[in-house]
Structure 1
């Protein structure tokens, strides 16, 4: 449960279950936002999850894993672009939502600083965070935030944005400086872009933020001339506003506002709206002023960022593992509009949960047109008191997520009708039921062949955290599992994924599903967005047409380049690391950390399948809950069929050369027989990168500290694992010593001083 109940009274087992649920939700929301440019939860709800997770982990530090969202920023970078390591961490911001919360933050800052503080206020642009690296005044790389340490290299596209200088103006440029900013579309340019998209017959963007992210994170390779022109149109309209610096060893000024002045003289675009105040009251007045006049700004804003102006105080106040303590984001309350509730329909997700969604007359709210909004479950529908046919009040929670607040009762005319939750799955017809006694949510138990659940699992297999198959995303997963035609889908379950052939992809039409709701996505005219993702049309006389392909009249179809690349990428995925296959199997609770531990210890899916509960639970980073989930998963016949079919198709569900269960540490290497726990933010390593470095060196990467632990590599945000290491007397090392350890072995640390204290 995440209902705000008293955490201090939670039994450990219930606390563990809630931590797992919160981590799943938070990571899912992060992956959607940073990986797919999709927002699936509002800021207030997301922050509520984070605050509750932080409190549970504070009371039960043994439940905080290395993967905990409380220790990380953003999401891991994908493979579409090359990775770029930031010279200095690119942090996120903590949020406040009211004057009282802001003034409390400002008072704490003043107490901690112990002296007079000036507050710099600037508008919070709703765009995509970007880091520009200049060396001796020349732009060398541009990267997205990624996980805060490693982002995606988007330099090629950034060079096409006219407002970003390739070489800085003026003189006195440092050898290295990272400039941080936000890439966005002006409202007018966003509307012009959508007009262009419509004229080309392409999909319209829902809002400026998604359009900015999608425009910057695209590649020219493989595009035809029309697509290249569309790409140029999109990138040419992008803008950047600089809002800070990353790496800069010794800036020649004393304040953030002076930094902005210096960056402006170098030709970098800084905001014309920032102001500096000598009191929290002045900053609060700025926040209220722009909240009342937010639509007078040429671009979308969702709040105000307030920073301590004095640079010296930035270091003194410090940062958590995710956000600086010297800055805060004040998020504005969402807008509200009235619209008509046309219907309430039920969507089924990857886990089988049946969720009611409001279908409304299109309404423009907070900068975008809204047609659908989640109603969560039948109890929420009743609590809101809405009837089908009502005029309802709609808002964008956090200016992002559409939310139905309730009906305008005085406008009812008697034609409205009550929503009745269906008794059967709208996708496959199976009776809906709670997963266990007392659950509010209803679920479809037909997990094997419910098309919506299969679609969700196939999309998960292609995701970055699983097999990372480029091209196996939202549209292609729907095409393979829920096509409009043919009547029989290519994939009834994921078992045949690695058996797909070119002929399986001919003649597929599919209705694109909304990433959030799972419901059919609609065009501007209200018709379903139907596509043929795997084919392109050729005349019968064209020499390149496939004579064995399906015909429509005098025309034939051949596979598109995207289809042939998808098949090639699926084939290439057969030799991915074992831990990725374990994540791809969709076993409950088995994420990357547990999957790595299982792969390292057992070396094959067959060995995991044959292991007892005690043998599974004994693996560091696994435990009883995951062991039970694995046993339950392999007890299902069609789950075993997935493994068997993948193996027969050539998928490598083993680690080549692995000596067998329990012998994973005997691999040779400088860390042979050494157990290391990496915790917090280690300079030069992402979370997964640190774990992989230990494994590559022949060591054992553990997720918890025990007497068997040889080293704890601790950085900022180390938390309970650092305290446990100190209690047990385990040697603690810092990031520089960790690099020596994984490259040269423990001997390289002989005589070295212990690691610097990590920030708790």
Structure 2
């Protein structure tokens, strides 16, 4: 009996050792694949292969939880939602950099260093200045331990769980030092920035002004799951354990060998002339890069000179940041026009003579409101300086007060709605003007367009042109009229381009929209500050629209991520009897006002299917990526035999030919939306 127990113990021990070894081997494989994909940008396996291997690891860890470690790829989004970020005192201060704005500043920087060293036997290292958020990563005995923001330089915030979601941050490294610290810049790629803003636009949320703001806002999100969805990235540029290496360039090679993402535009320079040449080279590449930069960083390469060159209380004297000037062009402001949105807000816009700016042709710019125009002294017909704010949004900087300018009339703000001619109002201390006419045609049309949009009630086929036509013919004047569509069949069939088939298709889409979950309806109502995500949060708590409209401000504010502005907006909306009547009428005609969200998109027939997207589609690529992923599908970059579908727009090119040769299913945009409807 004793011998049997010993044998059983030995077998179990060996079995568990084999399991542990298997888990470690899978982790190593996944780390290798992640490094190739997220750091080297050279994927070596298809997404499906990676997902299956990750699933295999999850299954083993669930069965043998004693082998789950913090450095496992399964633990990247394992943090809980936080109420706040803890403060952390930096072991070494995170100093900022002094700035240089022209070549003279760079020569002065060079002279200062030579004066300190009394010799010329030093060199420089030049690298792009990433427009993001400074971060410090700390590892203990080879394992990722902590991530901290710069803060005030002496004390930052612990954002470990958020940074852990960044795929290019290794969770373990082949350096088992007791303490290992490396610093860099968290950023958002231009592609991801566009994707996020497209998503926010569909959800009626405020857009991020530029990638830096988006990255900074994301890293301070209290929910790591939201951070993970934003797909942040990071470049590392400073290794603090300097005793191992004599030069900054050598230390970068070392941290790169450990799996950290290091920018490939960095270059060793022997003289200040070489520095200036490389700074100019980086600037010429600026608009071709997949990430935003706002300058270049110049550092003395040799570590041994750092202490002698010295520091100020704010920055090291051995480094400087050369700031690229924003590209500014002069063009003519041809006209100013005002438009009204669905909330009644008036936006002033400039029409510009076309000008090439930051890699794109700019023909228009927002002027925000009348106060902006007055403060800038903008006149129609004047020459103006234009730049892209954050290299994204066209902005009129200033007018050129030349001889022409003095002959032009001062612009006068409009006092009446450009659509309905109603007197405009300004609320409280706001500077924006509003049309408050409930019967304003343009407001109604824009509200109807929002109501039927994909993010809201998703009434397929009811375009803005059709809405305008139906409104002009007094068939649809408000939301409830959409659901009385059938009553006007004979009148509708008399309209241009509206035959029996078109009528039936629209009727079918309208009937189908009645079964939407209530968050789509709530978002479609266009209540100020209530985007699609907020609508879900609200109805997860109140279960149906009527319960929400009967709630108190305090009850609404008690919901996580719902603030006083949202709560007050809902109270204001529900205090209008016409709005309450609208909900009752919608319920009578059969529109669902209940929230059932245990719903899942897994039933849709694209769940777990892989897609490649190519060619020009009706909306930006991020729109389709988000849609596919929201229904459980995957978007991959390369065609293979295992690809389920190629979503092909116009001018599809080589991917279309490869899909044909591999007999991959090729679908159009129309086919794609039919699949979703299925």
TM-score range, shorter chain: 0.3 to 0.5
Greater C-alpha Rg: 2
Greater fraction of residues in helix: 2
Instruction: State the TM-score, normalized to the length of structure 2.
Output: 0.46
